[in-house]
A = this chain, B = another copy of it.
């Protein structure tokens, strides 16, 4: 996704692409004065060694995106992004802040999780200073982590902060190697399976909050969806949001379920089957990771309908599809006089192409929210997520209404303030998969 964001921003800046797929390209958003693509700078943390350009080339060859010659023309931007990528947090190998990639950060031993967080936050501040960014937005676009269950110490910031200071970072767990699920050392106190204090996605989230940057979790991983961290972000005045960008099958579910509800057509069962070929699909072969993904995908129908029904979701990794994702859904419903009828759909989408513009949308909208000085959960962005924080509205139309209302409300105020505003240049950054995403406003 990160590579596609980089290619896309460069193409938009150079006028090689129209803003198709960008929600915020709608004229309704003009009044908000969102950061323009030309004002955004990308950076990030990563644990993978493949360069951004190579990733983009592989996508082009395998999936047929990025028309002839585009990658050659944006090579400069991709290299600039590459230079701003720092080694990510790898927990399992002696708790250091390192990646195995030659030429990036060498491993450094960290004394505690808090010192890891501090180090990551410093990376973000350095990035902002070096690129004269006024504001940085961190977006998590890493691979999905295994399921993470909350415990008592995750309920309040006081307890979690205490634990962070004393827990050695090697107990922390890495959130997305991508290639294979991390080996978890069994903890003697917990019997069968060791559970780290926080997953990597939460470590990055805390680093963002530490640096005062909005954090958006575009993955099914935990991220900021922990009561203690929500409490912390609210107090610090940092905007946060998640989970899991809604790009394809779930988008359709949230558009269609309200239709069935309106018509009082009872859903008897909704079975969704997904086949996908990319790295995400490979990671999802790990049952623990798949469980995490299924949880965000599966609840949408029942929440949008307002009643429990039989929903099933399956995911199969089919490498020949490369970055394409195909979802086949079978919706079985009952109408007047008990007659059973059905709807099937097949969605054929290119995953990064669907996700990348939403990442840009979220960065622009989070930057705007931070500019207004408001912290906490940005529930008005629910329409972008499979499992939005801060609201139980699961129907797409209701979620769009929330965003429309937010935009309309701020559009009025912006119009009033327009005369007084000094000139600014806004920038924002990002990261290859597994890393946080950064941006700045200088």
Report whether B348 and A343 are in contact in the complex, using a CB–CB cutoff of 8 Å: yes
Report whether A335 and B316 are in contact in the complex, using a CB–CB cutoff of 8 Å: no
- Given A258-B397, A321-B332 in contact, is the A264-B22 Cβ separation under 8 Å? yes
Report whether B314 and A318 are in contact in the complex, using a CB–CB cutoff of 8 Å: no
Residues of A within 8 A of B (CB): 4, 7-8, 11, 17-23, 25-26, 60-61, 64-68, 70, 251-252, 255-256, 258-259, 262-266, 268-269, 271, 273, 275, 310, 312, 314, 316-321, 326, 328, 330, 332, 334-350, 353-354, 356-357, 383, 396-397, 400
Report whether A271 and B262 are in contact in the complex, using a CB–CB cutoff of 8 Å: no
In the bound complex, CA of A65 to CA of B64 (Å): 9
Report whether A341 and B337 are in contact in the complex, using a CB–CB cutoff of 8 Å: no
In the bound complex, CA of A312 to CA of B273 (Å): 12
A-B contact pairs, 8 of them (CB 8 A): A252-B259, A264-B357, A269-B321, A271-B316, A312-B316, A328-B328, A341-B348, A397-B397
Chain B residues near A67 (CB-CB < 8 A): 61, 337-338
Report whether A337 and B65 are in contact in the complex, using a CB–CB cutoff of 8 Å: yes
| Other-chain contact of A20, B26, B338, B396, B400 (Cβ < 8 Å) | B338
Report whether A262 and B353 are in contact in the complex, using a CB–CB cutoff of 8 Å: no
Chain B residue, CB-CB nearest to A360 = B336
Chain B residue, CB-CB nearest to A26 = B264
In the bound complex, CA of A312 to CA of B321 (Å): 13
Chain B residues near A316 (CB-CB < 8 A): 271, 273, 312, 314
In the bound complex, CA of A262 to CA of B8 (Å): 19
Chain B residue, CB-CB nearest to A309 = B320
Chain B residues near A266 (CB-CB < 8 A): 20
| Other-chain contact of A335, B21, B273, B312, B320 (Cβ < 8 Å) | B21
Min C-beta distance of A76 to chain B, whole Å? 18
Chain B residue, CB-CB nearest to A16 = B337
Chain B residues near A317 (CB-CB < 8 A): 312
Chain B residue, CB-CB nearest to A68 = B68
Report whether B330 and A262 are in contact in the complex, using a CB–CB cutoff of 8 Å: no
Report whether B314 and A339 are in contact in the complex, using a CB–CB cutoff of 8 Å: no
| Other-chain contact of A23, B25, B264, B340 (Cβ < 8 Å) | B264
In the bound complex, CA of A266 to CA of B22 (Å): 11
- Given A264-B21, A397-B400, A400-B262 in contact, is the A271-B337 Cβ separation under 8 Å? no
What is the oligomeric copy number? 4
> Which 3 pairs across A and B sit closest by C-beta, in order of nearness?
A397-B397, A21-B336, A268-B320
Chain B residues near A310 (CB-CB < 8 A): 318-320
Chain B residues near A339 (CB-CB < 8 A): 65, 350, 353
Report whether A259 and B396 are in contact in the complex, using a CB–CB cutoff of 8 Å: yes
Report whether A22 and B336 are in contact in the complex, using a CB–CB cutoff of 8 Å: yes
Report whether B8 and A337 are in contact in the complex, using a CB–CB cutoff of 8 Å: yes
Report whether A4 and B271 are in contact in the complex, using a CB–CB cutoff of 8 Å: no
| Other-chain contact of A11, B262, B337, B350 (Cβ < 8 Å) | B337
In the bound complex, CA of A8 to CA of B21 (Å): 35
Min C-beta distance of A397 to chain B, whole Å? 3
Chain B residues near A338 (CB-CB < 8 A): 17-18, 20, 67
In the bound complex, CA of A319 to CA of B334 (Å): 14
Min C-beta distance of A252 to chain B, whole Å? 7
- Given A328-B330, A337-B65 in contact, is the A271-B318 Cβ separation under 8 Å? yes
Chain B residues near A70 (CB-CB < 8 A): 337
Report whether A336 and B259 are in contact in the complex, using a CB–CB cutoff of 8 Å: no
Report whether A64 and B64 are in contact in the complex, using a CB–CB cutoff of 8 Å: yes
Report whether A264 and B25 are in contact in the complex, using a CB–CB cutoff of 8 Å: yes
Report whether B263 and A23 are in contact in the complex, using a CB–CB cutoff of 8 Å: yes
Report whether A314 and B312 are in contact in the complex, using a CB–CB cutoff of 8 Å: no
Report whether A337 and B320 are in contact in the complex, using a CB–CB cutoff of 8 Å: no
In the bound complex, CA of A310 to CA of B320 (Å): 9
Chain B residues near A345 (CB-CB < 8 A): 343-346
| Other-chain contact of A319, B269, B328, B349 (Cβ < 8 Å) | B269
- Given A264-B21, A265-B21, A273-B314 in contact, is the A337-B319 Cβ separation under 8 Å? no
Chain B residue, CB-CB nearest to A327 = B343
Min C-beta distance of A264 to chain B, whole Å? 6
